[in-house]
Chains A and B, each alone.
Chain A
Amino acid sequence: MFIEQLLNQGNAPVLESVIRFTAARHRLIAENIANVDTPDYRQKDLSVERFQSLLRSRLEMRRHSRPGAVRFDDLSVDVDNPTRGILFHDRNNRSMEQLATDLAKNAMMHNLAIELLRKQYQQMDMALRERIA
């Protein structure tokens, strides 16, 4: 109970959501790359902006609620079919440049969230051990 409350406060649940989001988005980007030559395939994506606004509203809710009352593990984002890019003759709207950029950006966001979460856990560990380093 104590550990659960400890983990559900601060940035940890937010960072966990970001990690889950980037993992889910990475899956879709990998699927898009896999289907780069598939006729009729339309690219799929998860909107980062929509996820961030969802996260922001949850954070706002948490600010006015008792600790641990607002959870972040049930967030869901709709899969988009972005219409950006050229629609080729095989009716596939691939863009390798866009996919490569999204792949890199998403991986960096994932690694950033992981690092921040790791630091957070290290701090908790230090507090529990009652000693620095």
Chain B
Amino acid sequence: MKAYPLATNNYQLATDKDMFDTLDISASALQAQRVRMDSVSLNIANINTTHDLKGRPNPYKRRFVEFLAGRPGDPSQPGVQARVKQDPSYREIYDAERRQYVRHPNIDLAIEMVNGIEASRAYEANVTAMEVTKAMMNASLRLLA
């Protein structure tokens, strides 16, 4: 448990670095959720990709995102960052036409949809947090008027 100083001097009000920093925290989350959404889109787009760019039988590897506490570029600062990882596993599906097993990406559409909805909701929550921060900053700035 660490002590959280509310101020360092008498002139520090709500519109100081703390509030701008809060916007950066929410922005890092927006970025992280967007990266998650990108992976979901990529996975759904490549659900049937069994070959790579050179035409070799190499199924697309499912992308997934790992969230880590700490801001991108500076993990000591509060925020969140997303790290994209690949899942090398695949499914073998029998192709009756070619009479052989074909390797398919290990993508479950239902899981991808759920991930997409979660990312979208989390994005909305962070946008709301940003709007509240902006409203609070505006209220503080009204003190000057």
Task: Give chain A's interface residues, CB within 8 Å of chain B.
Answer: 16-17, 19-24, 26-27, 29-31, 33-41, 46, 71, 73-81, 96, 99-100, 103-104, 107, 110-111, 114-115, 117-118, 121
Task: Tell me what chain A mostly uses at the interface: helix, strand, loop, or mixed.
Answer: helix
Task: Give chain B's interface residues, CB within 8 Å of chain A.
Answer: 1-7, 9-10, 12-14, 16, 18-19, 21-22, 25-26, 28-29, 32, 36, 66-69, 78-80, 118, 122, 125-126, 128-129, 132-133, 135-136, 139-140, 142-143
**A100 neighbours in B (Cβ, 8 Å):** 125, 128
B2 adjacent to A111 (CB under 8 Å):
no
**B13 neighbours in A (Cβ, 8 Å):** 16, 19-20, 23
A20 adjacent to B7 (CB under 8 Å):
yes
**How near does chain B come to A55, taking the closest CB pair, in angstroms?**
11
Query: Whole-angstrom distance between the alpha carbons of A36 and B16 in the complex?
Result: 26
B136 adjacent to A107 (CB under 8 Å):
yes
**How near does chain A come to B132, taking the closest CB pair, in angstroms?**
5
Query: Whole-angstrom distance between the alpha carbons of A23 and B67 in the complex?
Result: 26
B31 nearest CB neighbor, chain A only = A34
A107 nearest CB neighbor, chain B only = B132
B14 adjacent to A118 (CB under 8 Å):
no
**How near does chain A come to B133, taking the closest CB pair, in angstroms?**
7
A90 nearest CB neighbor, chain B only = B67
B142 adjacent to A27 (CB under 8 Å):
no
Q: Tell which of A34, A99, A104, A111 touches B25, judged by Cβ atoms closer than 8 Å.
A: A34
B18 nearest CB neighbor, chain A only = A23
B4 adjacent to A110 (CB under 8 Å):
no
Given the contacts A34-B25, A35-B67, A117-B143, A110 and B14 also touching, CB distance less than 8 Å: yes
5 contacts between A and B (CB under 8 A): A23-B13, A24-B4, A34-B129, A81-B1, A99-B125
**How near does chain A come to B85, taking the closest CB pair, in angstroms?**
13
Given the contacts A19-B140, A30-B26, A35-B69, A78 and B19 also touching, CB distance less than 8 Å: no
